Amino acid sequence: MSYESISVFDIFKIGIGPSSSHTLGPWRAALQFLTTLRKQNILQQVTQLNVLLYGSLAKTGKGHGTDIAVLLGLCGEDPVTFDVNKITSTVDSLNQEKKINLGKTNAIEFDPATQIQFLMEDSLPFHPNAMTFLVTFDNGEQIADTYYSIGGGFVVKEEQEALNLSTTQLPFPIDKSSDILHWCMKTGLSIAEVVLENEHAWRSETETKKGILQIWYTMRDCIYRGAHIQGILPGGLQVSRRAANLNKRLVGDATYTNFEEWLQVMQQGGMHFQYILDWVSCFALAVNEENASFSRVVTAPTNGAAGVIPAVLLYYIAFCNGNSEDKIIRFLLCASEIGCIFKKGATISAAMGGCQAEIGVSSAMAAAALCESLGGTPNQALQAAEIAMEHHLGLTCDPIGGLVQIPCIERNTMGAIKAITAAQLAMQGNPHNAIVSLDNVIKTMWQTALDMNHKYKETSDGGLAVHVPLSLPEC
């Protein structure tokens, strides 16, 4: 039986906001395109280039910075390491000079205003997020390469659609939640431990743990940064950042100079419900305000839903005795596998499934990870994921102005709270009495995605995107 092998580092990617499918995906597609040209030794022969954006990429591409991502990708910049403070100046220079240095090795004439085309009325059948690179070479020959950004930063080249499954053979192949339970029961391992064993197929345990901690450090830094920056988000909606003001009210007159000291301050504030609830909201708001500001975030499993898992993980660290590297690693390992089975059985792309595919999936991932981290069994952890997704079914994606701001930022706070509630419900119940399994809810989510009107799939053609005047405040 064939199966798709997905690593923890496929689900969690370090990148730049505001969208994994509309920003990070096109950026990575541009880099893949450069790689293809290099392998064929024809990059230096390119004389002209046009980029065509289709479907959802065209309709909400401006708000998501798709054109910016394409430009930086074609320049050969790495979204993991590129200095986010240089985005504006780099793009302004490209627009002014009307030239681009492909892969930093071949400078050609290129006017982004006319040579990146947003084809609002055109869509390709495989996936709504499609883009084509039209290239002319010095000998007059032309090629057209099409890529699809299928969600979470995953990219598929058109002619390789059927070849997209990883050939890596894992010791514990997993396609569904029933497979997770099978391996956990057979080996006596937790979900996180099963995933860690699978990761050995790619790299050593030391490398895996080091990489996961780097994922956490990026999440941590994003939360801390976002919780201390005030101002208005870019894009024209005049949305005020709220995380910093909320943080200021929560910490009061306390002083600190780094994350660890900040953590101690919040822990000293007590354990009452409203206080902790405000902190979880602050964490999620901080991440997604950073995401909306073209800052560095971790797709978890997408950029639009990037705040849920960091918020729940920091809740676990700050208020549930989870502050150890081993516990953090286990949390993220467990969360990643839930994301994997949603990608395999449904989708993690809002352009395919609405926001249930982003906030819903991230909430399910966080719920399972928190449940297992708090001592829940594999059955309980999977039940927590089911509960979280069950109450996100049908959630639409209708961003106002095509920006990952309203209602996206607040939805991360709701997804985080639902994840915590789902974990608690699963911990207090008997999963063997559950009527709905995680596999059933994944099937239901996919059927719901297929039935959902395209207006509610990240097109800004329906819902809040068309019923809320842009001059109104965010709520």
CA nearest neighbour of 12 among 204, 195, 186: 195
Is pLDDT above 90 for 98?
Answer: yes
Least confident of 26-35, 148-157, 242-251: 148-157
* 182 plus 158 within the same structural domain: no
Assess if residue 3 is contained within a domain. no
Q: What is the pLDDT of residue 153?
A: 87
* 110 plus 256 within the same structural domain: no
Least confident of 163-172, 189-198, 371-380: 163-172
162 — pLDDT class (breaks 50, 70, 90): very low
* 395 plus 366 within the same structural domain: yes
Assess if residue 412 is contained within a domain. yes
Is pLDDT above 60 for 474?
Answer: no
The mean pLDDT of 174-197, rounded to a whole number, is 98
Q: What is the pLDDT of residue 286?
A: 98
The mean pLDDT of 103-129, rounded to a whole number, is 94
Is pLDDT above 90 for 300?
Answer: yes
Q: What is the pLDDT of residue 4?
A: 81
What are the angstrom distances between the C-alpha of 24 and each of 92, 251, 348? 19, 34, 14
Q: What is the pLDDT of residue 87?
A: 93
User: pTM value?
Assistant: 0.92
Widest distance between CA atoms in the chain = 71
Residue range 357-367, pLDDT digits in tens: 999 999 999 99
Structure tokens at 42: 């024809």
E-only strand ranges, 186-314: 296-299
CA nearest neighbour of 266 among 228, 314, 209: 314
The mean pLDDT of 180-184, rounded to a whole number, is 98
Which residue shows structure tokens 């071949």? 106
Cβ distance 338 to 305 under 8 Å?
no
* 225 plus 157 within the same structural domain: no
The dihedral built from the CA positions of residue 296, 331, 181 and 166, taken in this order, carries a sign that is positive
Cβ burial, residue 403 (10 Å; 0-12/13-18/19+): buried
* 122 plus 184 within the same structural domain: no
Structure tokens at 448: 């719901």
Distance, CA of 361 to CA of 367 (rounded, Å): 10
Distance, CA of 204 to CA of 356 (rounded, Å): 34
* 185 plus 146 within the same structural domain: no
Q: What is the pLDDT of residue 475?
A: 47
Q: What is the pLDDT of residue 102?
A: 97
Residue range 61-96, pLDDT digits in tens: 888 899 999 999 999 999 999 999 999 999 999 999
Structure tokens at 462: 């329906």
* 236 plus 122 within the same structural domain: no
Assess if residue 321 is contained within a domain. yes
Please tell me the total count of domains within the chain.
Answer: 2
What are the angstrom distances between the C-alpha of 250 and each of 146, 272, 289? 49, 13, 18
Q: What is the pLDDT of residue 279?
A: 98
Return the SS3 of 135: strand
Assess if residue 54 is contained within a domain. yes
173 DSSP 8-state letter: -
CATH (domain of 41): 3.30.1330.90
Q: Estimate to the nearest angstrom the gap between the alpha carbon of 453 and the chain centroid.
A: 23
Cβ distance 128 to 327 under 8 Å?
no
* 338 plus 455 within the same structural domain: yes
pLDDT, the chain, mean: 94
* 350 plus 324 within the same structural domain: yes
Helices within 257-395 (DSSP H only): 259-267, 273-292, 308-319, 325-345, 350-353, 359-373, 378-390
Distance, CA of 301 to CA of 321 (rounded, Å): 25
Cβ distance 337 to 115 under 8 Å?
no
Is pLDDT above 80 for 161?
Answer: no
330 — pLDDT class (breaks 50, 70, 90): very high
* 197 plus 260 within the same structural domain: yes
Show which of 123, 138, 163 is a domain's final residue: 163
Q: What is the pLDDT of residue 3?
A: 60
163 — pLDDT class (breaks 50, 70, 90): very low
Q: What is the pLDDT of residue 160?
A: 60
Is pLDDT above 50 for 388?
Answer: yes
Boundaries of domain holding 266:
177-467
Assess if residue 171 is contained within a domain. no
Assess if residue 13 is contained within a domain. no
Percentage with pLDDT > 70 across the chain: 96
Which helix (H) or strand (E) covers residue 125, if one does? none
Is pLDDT above 50 for 267?
Answer: yes
Q: Estimate to the nearest angstrom the gap between the alpha carbon of 235 and the chain centroid.
A: 20
Least confident of 153-157, 183-187, 193-197, 383-387: 153-157
Assess if residue 169 is contained within a domain. no
Return the SS3 of 127: coil
Distance, CA of 367 to CA of 311 (rounded, Å): 11
Show which of 163, 193, 215 is a domain's final residue: 163
* 95 plus 196 within the same structural domain: no
CA nearest neighbour of 309 among 399, 216, 235: 216
Assess if residue 170 is contained within a domain. no
Give CA angle at 384 (448, 434), nearest 5°.
80
Is pLDDT above 70 for 472?
Answer: no
Show which of 163, 190, 219 is a domain's final residue: 163
* 362 plus 447 within the same structural domain: yes
